[in-house]
């Protein structure tokens, strides 16, 4: 964009400072992604556990339902203040800002992911588990070999959306001083007095990350397609398919029982 085409006030916009401070901004972005990624992994484990408890027996399923409904409603800003100033005091531990951010996000997103996993688990036909049981498989094995892979495929797009939400929620962690994108931006604004330019750059970073994450999760979803769809999916499963093909080729293709 050419600066001369903007209104006169815009002539004071110094877009060059974004480039000059790119490494600070990108470091902020990396911090935001790190906090979110660690929290995502924790939230997936706890979210799945919560979903299973929620689908299970009565007194426990109520407790899970209460947790889910409370923490879905808590803003990230409040969550991180609870963790950093409240929980730390109660447990008499001092968290680093990174740890506090991870815990705060995990508390909230375990609840969101629990609901996503619950509906994914519910979407799997009853006959799948029954077939596993009828074959004599143990419930744990049925869960990991039959239910979970199918539920993962269903849940994946929503998990991707949650991850994008987590990255954006890290922006509130500026309140505890985590050097994520917004905190970095605030520091730069204090030095340069260019809030419009810098916050626009920050927003562009979030949008860019959302695009990339969406793309990556779509890719991951496609690798789970049956039959394998796309080069990546075929590449990942090619070895297995070749093993099966070898078994097919090694055997006589006529049916001995019908030959007579």
Site of interaction with another protein (CB under 8 A): 125, 127-128, 130-138, 141, 145-146, 149-150, 153, 224, 226-227, 240-241, 243-245, 247-248, 250-253, 255, 257-258
Nearer to another protein, 57 or 126 (CB): 126
Task: Output the smallest distance, CB 62 to another protein, in A.
Answer: 23
Task: Output the smallest distance, CB 176 to another protein, in A.
Answer: 42
Sign of CA dihedral 187, 27, 214, 96: negative
Rounded CA separation 176/101 (Å): 9
Nearer to another protein, 92 or 249 (CB): 249
Task: Output the smallest distance, CB 231 to another protein, in A.
Answer: 18
**Would you state the structure tokens that stand for residue 252, as one six-digit string?**
């006589």
Nearer to another protein, 59 or 227 (CB): 227
Task: Output the smallest distance, CB 243 to another protein, in A.
Answer: 7
Contacts of 73 (CB under 8 A, 6+ apart): none
**Would you state the structure tokens that stand for residue 214, as one six-digit string?**
């969406």
Residue 23: burial class (beta carbons within 10 Å; 0-12, 13-18, 19+): exposed
**Would you state the structure tokens that stand for residue 124, as one six-digit string?**
């799997």
Nearer to another protein, 142 or 205 (CB): 142
């Amino acid at each position: 964009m050419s600066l001369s085409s903007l209104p006169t006030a815009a002539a004071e916009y110094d877009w060059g400072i974004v480039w000059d401070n790119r490494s600070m901004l990108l470091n902020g972005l990396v911090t935001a992604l790190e906090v979110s990624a660690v929290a995502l992994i924790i939230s997936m484990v706890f979210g799945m556990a919560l979903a299973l408890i929620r689908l299970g027996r009565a007194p426990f399923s109520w407790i899970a339902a209460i947790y889910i409904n409370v923490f879905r409603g808590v803003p990230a800003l409040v969550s991180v203040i609870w963790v950093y100033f409240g929980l730390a005091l109660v447990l008499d531990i001092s968290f680093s800002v990174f740890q506090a951010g991870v815990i705060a996000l995990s508390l909230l997103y375990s609840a969101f992911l629990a609901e996503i996993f619950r509906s994914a688990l519910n979407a799997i036909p009853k006959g799948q588990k029954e077939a596993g049981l009828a074959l004599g498989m143990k419930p744990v094995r049925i869960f990991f070999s039959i239910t979970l892979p199918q539920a993962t495929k269903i849940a994946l797009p929503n998990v991707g959306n949650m991850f994008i939400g987590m990255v954006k929620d890290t922006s509130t962690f500026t309140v505890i001083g985590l050097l994520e994108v917004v905190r970095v931006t605030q520091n730069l604004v204090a030095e340069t007095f260019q809030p419009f330019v810098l916050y626009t750059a920050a927003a562009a970073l979030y949008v860019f990350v959302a695009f990339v994450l969406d793309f990556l999760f779509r890719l991951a979803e496609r690798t789970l397609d049956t039959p394998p769809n796309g080069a990546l999916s075929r590449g990942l499963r090619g070895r297995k398919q070749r093993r099966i093909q070898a078994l097919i080729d090694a055997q006589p293709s006529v049916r001995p029982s019908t030959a007579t």
